[in-house]
Amino acid sequence: MIEMCASLRRVTRLLAIVSLAAMVLDASAASAQVPLKSAQSFAVLAGTAVTCTSSTVTGDVGVWPGTAITQTGCVITGTVHAADAVAQQAYLDFISAYNNLRDHPPACKVPLTATLAEVLLPGVYCVDATAKTGPLMLDAQGNADASWTFLVNGALTGTNFTMSIINGGQACNVTWWVNGATTMTTSKLLGTVLAGAAITVTGGSFNGHLLATAAATLTTGSAVTACTSTTVVPPVVDKCDDHDKDRDDKDHDKDHDKDHDKDRDDKDHDSKDKN
């Protein structure tokens, strides 16, 4: 049994090394999120200007190569980066992610319906430029790393459009690649928006990252929060370790029994000597 456990350990370690190598060779397939790198902390990032009126932003706000960030009754919980080195690097990382999806788009699972009034499983979906309304539910099926990628060939427009994720999914694992502008009115949007033009949010809420090559505008009580993700890794139980522990416990019990028998024999011997 000891030799068997040693062999199992060697096989397990070899499989772990092979699995790790596969993850390194195909990291993009293993990742549920778009690699935003330094843009990850930004709730709003624009190329020309950011205008925030009577709205709230939780997360960093930045602009580059533009310089204008206008705040009127706007509450920003985060750091404002106006054309500084941090905003520049974040913008370049955003453009890199945008271009990567543009030049190497993943295969679409199925075309997306115009109404989006349905439940979608993880996957890649394609949609033409059209107005969206009504509910959209994303079902993670108990997988915290489940991801959805929406490739929008044109503008993304939503009015009274609401998104939700059920069964363990995360907003950070939703990506909207938009070939044109993004305009949301009294809507609830989730995920990272990589917009090839301007982004305008009027009312409603957003959980994710709004990244625009042109201007980003928030008005009329919009609430934007940069998403955060968590990954839970279950502990690995080594059955051979359990066996070794059981064996050690049994050996200890045997030693204890031997000591007990020895003490009993000594007592019997003493008793005979007295007699």
- Look at residue 152 and tell me whether its pLDDT is greater than 70: yes
In the predicted model, is pLDDT for residue 174 greater than 70? yes
Report if residue 173 sits inside a domain. Answer: yes
Q: Is the pLDDT of residue 1 over 50?
A: no
Top mean pLDDT of 7-16, 26-35, 66-75, 228-237 is at: 66-75
What pLDDT shows up at residue 129? 81
Does any domain span residue 259? no
Residue 270: inside a domain, yes or no?
no
Q: Is residue 14 part of a domain?
A: no
Please give the structure tokens belonging to residue 58: 């939780």
Provide the sign of the torsion angle of the four alpha carbons 180, 185, 187, 191, taken in this order. positive
- Containing structural domain, residue 220: 38-225
Q: 197: exposed, middle or buried (C-beta count within 10 Å: 0-12, 13-18, 19+)?
A: middle
| 47 located within any domain | yes
The pTM for the full model equals 0.73
Q: Which residue has the tokens 């490739």?
A: 151
* 194 falls within a domain: yes
- Would you say residue 30 lies in a domain? no
Task: Provide the domain count of the chain.
Answer: 1
- Does a structural domain hold residue 107? yes
